[in-house]
Structure 1
Amino acid sequence: MNDLSETFRSIANAASGLSPIIFVLYKGSEPPPFAAPMPRIPPGPVEQVVDLWFTEVIRQAYKDNPALHDGAIMVKKTSAGQLIVKGWSFRLFPPEAPTESTVNRGSAFNSCHAMSFISEVDCVFLLSNGECFQFQNGRINPMASVDPIGG
């Protein structure tokens, strides 16, 4: 299991009970196309490192502004592999997925799948009810949750 998968499985487990959380990991200096920020006051904290303990950042951000739960968290993946939050509460509006789509599992799931086809997107994670899904280049990888302390 790679560190990236372990990180998001751990966050999914610790964030169980929160609204679904979408992370869009992207390459390049700017967030990918087909994603637009929805301004929030106060805004979510940026320049945070996404790691095994990022759930505490999410909980505090939602406490400071409950509207932040609506939309995706944009995460820049650096050349060294570090994950840095660049924005909160982004609306996703990808074009229809270019392949035969999966059974409709709701707008969050289907938007994550379609966003994963965008060339500037490295991958997308959807965390919901303790479940974790990774979408990459149109592939959907369901991952079992993991205990954040003991693995």
Structure 2
Amino acid sequence: MVDTQDCDDGDDLDQLMLATVDERQSHSTLIVCFFTGEGAPPHTAAMLRVPAPPIASSVMDSFHVQIDAAIELNPAVHDGAILVGRSRTSEDYAIRGWSYRLFPPHNGACQEANRGSAFNSGLAMSTVEGIDAVYLASNNTVSKFVHGHHILLR
């Protein structure tokens, strides 16, 4: 698993997410789950969206444009998490799915007062094997969850 707190990937992802929040046209709540592995990570479920935005686009360039275009195509895509993955740490991250439900298993080590389902789900999801980081952007605030820890970026 990539420890995003101790490598360049973490700083790159932080900068990507801060820039994405700054540059988006809409300021709706955004949950982005970064992972390494094949297929969708465990404890996630796709919520069917018709029409469905395209996937497999690299997020390193114009992530905000891709998000805005997806929401313009189908406003319901913002209701779930965006899955952004890569098969190996040597690859770039790409959008693997829009509008996913996160349902991490109960983790006793992740004891945090209820701060809302998006916050608490992101925190717990960050402990799942293969998850590199989960970001929650809401009201110009950006939170990062890594290995069951919350980091307020802004």
Deviation digits for residues 48-70 of structure 1, max 9, x if unmatched? 11135211111111111011111
112, 115, 131: which is aligned to 1:121? 131
Distance in 2 separating the partners of 1:81 and 1:139? 25
Q: For residue 59 of structure 1, what is the amino acid of its counterpart? A: D
Misfit runs of 4+, over 6 Å = none
1:5-48 deviation line (CA, Å, top 9, x unaligned): 11111112223752211111111111111100011111122011
For 1:49, which of 33, 54, 58 is the aligned residue? 58
**Deviations along 1:79-129, whole A, 9 cap, x unmatched?**
225110010000111112331522211100000001001012111111111
Question: TM-score, normalised on structure 1?
Answer: 0.87
For structure 2, the residue ranges without an aligned partner over 5 or more in a row are 1-9
Q: Does 1:67 align with 2:76?
A: yes
**Distance in 2 of aligned mates of 1:105 and 1:47:** 32
2:4 alignment partner in structure 1: none
Name the residue aligned to 1:134: 144
Gaps of 5+ in 1: 145-151
Root mean square deviation, CA, Å: 1.7
Match of 2:60, SS? Answer: coil
How many residue pairs get aligned? The number is: 144
Q: Is the 8 A contact 1:16 1:130 kept in 2?
A: no
In structure 2, do the counterparts of structure 1 residues 141 and 52 end up closer, same or farther at CA, with 3 Å as the change threshold? farther
**TM-score, normalization by structure 2:** 0.86
Partner of 2:29: 20
Corresponding position of 1:7: 16
> Contact 2:26–2:68 at 8 Å: present in 1 too?
no
